[in-house]
Structure 1
Amino acid sequence: MTDQVGFLNFAEAREIAKRRLPRGIFEYIDRGAEDERALAGNRAAFDRIKIKPYALRSGSNRSTTISLFGHEYCAPLVVTPTAFAGLVYFNGEVELAKAAAEFGIPFTAATEAITSIAAVARATSVPIWFQLYLWDKEEISFELMDKAWSSGVRTIVVTVDTPVLPNREFNVRNGFDVPLRFALRNVFDVAMHPRWALGVFGRYVVTEGVPTFANYPDQYRKNLLRRDRGDPLDFMPNLSWDHMGRIRDRWKGTMVIKGLLRQEDALEAKRVGADGIVVSNHGGRNLDSAIAPIDVLRGIVDCVGPAMTVLADSSVQRGSDVFKLLASGAKAVLLGRSMLYGTAAGGKAGAIAMMRILKEELARTMDMSGCQTIADVNQDMIAAS
């Protein structure tokens, strides 16, 4: 595996991505918001949790398989929606979706993607999930939901933790915004990454034209270099639970609400009929003083009860992190940065390698802790230090 993609863990894949990607794109993926306290807090929260292993309980029948929303998967892992996944590798969103399908875990396509939901769905052998940011023109969002349904999507993930754009000051410094801002610093940086400039961005320009937000309607779509924005289409400024209710009425499949950190909000999600929630602080990328998901996860799981499927994410780097979130009550764990780093390192092969690494790390942690199945990974297995 390492001969093909060159990494054995999250940190090594991150270093490869850092070398291969222009600084603006790498920092967009890698960094947090403002002073990055939430990003550091996520890591510190994982490190505070310790595992209490049983002895003499290992066996040959250990399994990481799970059932999620009526489907069987090889591991409690989900590829989370990420904007600009298509910029870490040519057709990166398709490569990552194919990797997830081949490996046997769900892939979630993003609203702000370079490749359209229809194109990603056509490229995969199994149904994908779709993430929705609700636009300020609600009917256009509903039309996009209908396109997703027509493409075979049956699970929608509504992201609700971005009522305003976060303060990511490093994006201002490095010029990574839409449209891209050109300055000597970032032009030189792209020139110093010819593999990306020619093999990713240049290849798009030659084959498809300058990349765009492919899920936006034509009159609102802009490519990454346009200055004349045209008709505006922004996120819903007054997003509310009434909007969630209307989405629930419209969407006939599985509905998941992503970005909750309070028990009250989890109960509201249950009230409007959501099938699942994601306990998440957006990977430390939005509110810089947000609490770490693992610190509130158990309380939320206990609050909503077994009828609600609770997922979790934010800053997972090792299979032991996955173990800790599962022990805290999550049914599965969403992965973002790790999937992008793996894809940047080797496309589909790199993504599969990262999935395999995290699954094997989780399995090893289970073996070392005396857990034969995911059901054995429970609250009794961990303690806060």
Structure 2
Amino acid sequence: MTGGFRFRLTGRTPPLDVEGWRRRAGRRVPPMVWAYIENGADTERTLGENRSAYRDWYLNQRVLTRTTDVDLTTTVAGTRLDLPVAVAPVGLAGAAHWHGDLGLARAAERSGTRMVLSSASTYSIEEVARGTDERHWFQLYPWGDRALTASLMDRARDSGFTALFVTVDVPVYGNRLRERRTGMGLPPTLTPRRVLQAALRPRWAYAYLRHRRTTLRNLVPDGTRGTAVESVTVQSENLTADIGWNDLEWIRSRWDGPLFVKGVLHPDDAERVVDLGADGVVVSNHGGRQLDAVQPTVRALPAVAQRVGHRAEVLVDGGIRSGADVAVALALGARACLVGRPAVYGLAGGGADGVAEVLRILREELVRNLTMMGVAASADLAPHHLTPAPR
């Protein structure tokens, strides 16, 4: 493993839950970065309901079950995981902490799982491959420029990334009002007040000036750093609503490894992507950042799992903040969960080691919950382990 940092969590006693890491993260980054991490589209209804929908379910507790040594292992995309939670693709992760995507990947493999590297990463595909010991997964947008899309697939394959996650729910950017109000629009805009706000986070400001990890490194010329504005412009110019099933067919024909389609909410869409050769789907609404007022992912999950779960691997993201949430998602048909914001809370609050702490918390909560539920393995979770909460 190569790279310029090591795990070293310093400061006060680490937070004890994901919400504690969220509060810590909010104190560490400037308001415009925090808005980027936290905001959703329009009224943020879906953002909120992604969380609250987990309250639709109670976990069934059983007693005197002699449940010990709970097994959390699963297999996703041909990779054995020791934890049924992986790190979701996160664009512009270096804005939260200069460890960025490399820190996310190192923390994931340290925790027995994997990360999906974003196309909009602040460490390049090659930098992450060189700086990690395990083979991770790569996220791809089906951009209008097929040459760019093909180049990213080739670079990911050549660098050892084993699975491709194609995000299909961003034909246009969602209307993220908090980002726009704080200057994180396209392009980002700085004012004297925003510069002052950043300066009031001296640790963040120093790391920003020293490490410059706010450029989307996969979208600038090879061997150059470029600028954040230049790279974000490349990304925005290549997003297009003119994408269809033939684009997914083309991607499938060029990628010979496991392929997942991320951003699926409707079972008909899930069935079609599997018919086209996808190995799995990710039930996702982009963390509530795209189309507001769509259903929360945990409510969309059962219908998708019922339709295609016997033919493909079904993952889910959105709203997961605890081991109890993970248990609900697995019981409703997910093979594993992806977490984005919780991982970024750890990153902003403590770099790579903060991410590892968040994953450790989720692991310990899940083991504790399954022990009290009398479930010996997370893979055994099923709907009968849940009771619907009255509405």
TM-score when normalising by structure 1: 0.94
Deviation at 1:203, TM superposition (A): 1.2
Q: Find 1:194's aligned residue among 196, 199, 202.
A: 202
User: In structure 2, what is the equivalent of residue 287 of structure 1?
Assistant: 291
- 1:220-299 counterparts in 2 under 5 A? 223-225=227-229, 233-299=237-303
Matched, 1:92 2:95: no
Query: Given that residues 178 and 224 in structure 1 are in contact (C-alpha distance below 8 angstroms), is that contact kept between their aligned partners in structure 2?
Result: no
Structure 1 residues 134 and 4 mapped into 2: Cα distance closer, same or farther (>3 Å)?
A: farther
Give the AA of the match of 2:164.
I
Larger deviation: 37-46 or 53-62?
53-62
Q: Distance in 1 between matches of 2:216 and 2:232?
A: 15
Q: Deviations over 1:82-121 (max 9, x none)?
A: 0111121113211111111111101111011111011111
Q: Distance in 2 between matches of 1:263 and 1:286?
A: 19
Q: 2:101 is paired with a residue of what secondary structure?
A: helix
User: In structure 1, what is the equivalent of residue 217 of structure 2?
Assistant: 214
Query: Given that residues 39 and 179 in structure 2 are in contact (C-alpha distance below 8 angstroms), is that contact kept between their aligned partners in structure 1?
Result: no
Q: Deviations over 1:43-85 (max 9, x none)?
A: 2210111112222224223211112222211110110000111
Matched, 1:146 2:154: yes
Q: 1:367 is paired with a residue of what secondary structure?
A: helix
Query: Given that residues 277 and 310 in structure 1 are in contact (C-alpha distance below 8 angstroms), is that contact kept between their aligned partners in structure 2?
Result: yes
Query: Given that residues 72 and 379 in structure 2 are in contact (C-alpha distance below 8 angstroms), is that contact kept between their aligned partners in structure 1?
Result: no
TM-score when normalising by structure 2: 0.92
Query: Given that residues 68 and 371 in structure 2 are in contact (C-alpha distance below 8 angstroms), is that contact kept between their aligned partners in structure 1?
Result: no
Matched, 1:10 2:27: no
Deviation at 1:336, TM superposition (A): 0.4
Query: Given that residues 143 and 238 in structure 2 are in contact (C-alpha distance below 8 angstroms), is that contact kept between their aligned partners in structure 1?
Result: yes
Q: How many residues align?
A: 380
Structure 1 residues 150 and 22 mapped into 2: Cα distance closer, same or farther (>3 Å)?
A: same
User: In structure 2, what is the equivalent of residue 348 of structure 1?
Assistant: 352
Q: Distance in 2 between matches of 1:102 and 1:174?
A: 35
User: In structure 2, what is the equivalent of residue 30 of structure 1?
Assistant: 38
Structure 1 residues 227 and 41 mapped into 2: Cα distance closer, same or farther (>3 Å)?
A: closer
Q: Distance in 2 between matches of 1:32 and 1:346?
A: 24
Q: Deviations over 1:182-227 (max 9, x none)?
A: 123312211111110112x11124xxxx742111142999512569
Q: Distance in 1 between matches of 2:338 and 2:234?
A: 35
Q: Distance in 2 between matches of 1:81 and 1:346?
A: 19
User: In structure 1, what is the equivalent of residue 372 of structure 2?
Assistant: 368
Q: Distance in 1 between matches of 2:136 and 2:231?
A: 33
- Long gaps (5+) in structure 2: 1-8
Q: Distance in 2 between matches of 1:44 and 1:135?
A: 33
Deviation at 1:256, TM superposition (A): 0.3
Structure 1 residues 238 and 39 mapped into 2: Cα distance closer, same or farther (>3 Å)?
A: same
User: In structure 2, what is the equivalent of residue 110 of structure 1?
Assistant: 118
Deviation at 1:179, TM superposition (A): 3.3
Query: Given that residues 58 and 372 in structure 1 are in contact (C-alpha distance below 8 angstroms), is that contact kept between their aligned partners in structure 2?
Result: no
Q: State the 4+ residue runs in structure 1 displaced beyond 3 angstroms.
A: 1-5, 219-222, 225-233
Structure 1 residues 82 and 278 mapped into 2: Cα distance closer, same or farther (>3 Å)?
A: same
Larger deviation: 169-178 or 116-125?
169-178
- Long gaps (5+) in structure 1: none
Q: 1:39 is paired with a residue of what secondary structure?
A: helix
Q: Among the aligned pairs, what percent are the same residue?
A: 34
Q: Distance in 2 between matches of 1:228 and 1:9?
A: 33
Q: Distance in 2 between matches of 1:12 and 1:144?
A: 36
Deviation at 1:181, TM superposition (A): 0.6
Deviation at 1:4, TM superposition (A): 6.4
Q: Find 1:203's aligned residue among 210, 224, 228.
A: 210
Give the AA of the match of 1:66.
T
Give the AA of the match of 1:330.
A
Deviation at 1:129, TM superposition (A): 0.4
Q: Find 2:312's aligned residue among 304, 308, 311.
A: 308
User: In structure 2, what is the equivalent of residue 135 of structure 1?
Assistant: 143
User: In structure 1, what is the equivalent of residue 68 of structure 2?
Assistant: 60
Larger deviation: 226-235 or 340-349?
226-235
Structure 1 residues 237 and 5 mapped into 2: Cα distance closer, same or farther (>3 Å)?
A: farther
